[in-house]
């Protein structure tokens, strides 16, 4: 599967085994099997937060943060901690001013990470048990796996704000996100397209309604053709061209333009796809791969794009 699937799906699978490593004194709270990060309301230090790697106390305002997660990098910059970020992984390409390095979040090199002398490392997966390795050399670490709902996204942003000394700014970010999303949903047509197909890559991997991405479509009242597909239980089934054509989705969302060069024109040229309702009505949305696969502040852009497309189809 492509990088986009790894960044969303694999981190969820690995999160369950990542409850060891950084300084801890208790377990993280959970809800429905998913880790629910929590943070104290205080903007002063020390602060104590609950992450997937347990209870973590941050003694002083971090000034040399290393991020091994593109989504958490976006959160750090959104809450105003940009001047505290020393280095980010190779895929943290947004915003433009992020200090991108060759560090890998998928195969982290402990020695390379430590070479930046971090006083806080944030990551979304414990690949190679790097959390334990960082703890062994005295580096404070926050493990924040992929969110499974908007509420978890809000909680992570506010945790990042508290952990970096920007609790008030983080609260403002989540407040604005909630208001913008509510506004988008309120403007969505009461009646419109009924079904959607979300394409992760050119081998037809998709998402079900139980995933973070799939929940966005559910918010608009759309049925997801992947929900009834073989392998739907994984959340990320691989569909067949025949299945997609037979399902005849009203809307197609392409999240594989960058990785695979897929465009609405290429979709229309696939054998049998010209007869799909979404193709006939020009309701094939090409959206930035990263925006469609990350659960941070830019999820608002994803939701807005979907809302605009649905309004256009209904009109």
HSE (side-chain half, CA atoms, 13 Å) at 231: 10
Q: What does the pLDDT read at residue 314?
A: 55
Q: How far apart are CA 38 and CA 162, in angstroms?
A: 10
Segments of the chain scoring below 50 in pLDDT: 1-36, 40-42, 315
Q: Which pLDDT belongs to residue 189?
A: 73
Rounded to two decimals, what is the model's pTM? 0.82
The candidate with the shortest Cα–Cα distance to 226, out of 247, 245, 212, is 247
What's the pLDDT score for residue 292? 84
Q: Listing from the earlier edge strand, what are the strands of the sheet with 47-51? A: 38-39, 47-51, 54-58
Q: What per-residue confidence (pLDDT) applies to 148?
A: 87
Burial annotation 96-119 (CB, 10 A radius, 16+ → b, else e): eebebbebbbbebebeebbeeebb
pLDDT, position 9: 42
């Amino acid at each position: 599967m492509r990088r986009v699937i790894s960044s969303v799906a694999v981190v969820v699978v690995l999160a369950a085994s990542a409850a060891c490593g950084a300084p801890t004194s208790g377990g993280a709270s959970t809800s429905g099997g998913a880790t629910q990060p929590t943070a104290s309301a205080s903007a002063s230090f020390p602060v104590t937060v609950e992450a997937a790697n347990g209870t973590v106390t941050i003694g002083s305002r971090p000034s040399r943060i290393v991020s091994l997660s593109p989504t958490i990098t976006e959160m750090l910059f959104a809450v105003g901690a940009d001047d505290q970020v020393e280095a980010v992984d190779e895929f943290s390409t947004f915003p433009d001013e992020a200090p991108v390095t060759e560090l890998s979040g998928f195969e982290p090199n402990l020695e390379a990470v430590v070479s930046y002398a971090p006083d806080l490392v944030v990551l979304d997966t414990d690949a190679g048990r790097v959390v334990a390795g960082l703890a062994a050399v005295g580096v404070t670490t926050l493990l924040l796996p992929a969110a499974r709902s908007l509420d978890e996204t809000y909680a992570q942003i506010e945790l990042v704000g508290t952990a970096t000394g920007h609790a008030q700014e983080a609260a403002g970010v989540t407040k604005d996100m909630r208001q913008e999303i509510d506004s988008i949903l309120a403007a969505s047509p009461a009646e419109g397209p009924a079904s959607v197909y979300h394409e992760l890559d050119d081998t037809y991997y998709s998402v079900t309604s139980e995933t973070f991405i799939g929940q966005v479509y559910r918010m608009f009242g759309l049925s997801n053709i992947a929900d009834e597909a073989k392998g739907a239980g994984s959340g990320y089934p691989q569909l067949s061209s025949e299945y997609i054509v037979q399902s005849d989705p009203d809307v197609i969302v392409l999240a594989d333009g960058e990785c695979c060069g897929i465009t609405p024109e290429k979709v229309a040229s696939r054998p049998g796809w010209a007869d799909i309702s979404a193709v006939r009505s020009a309701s094939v949305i090409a959206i930035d791969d990263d925006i469609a696969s990350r659960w941070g502040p830019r999820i608002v852009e994803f939701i807005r794009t979907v809302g605009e497309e649905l309004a256009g189809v209904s009109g």
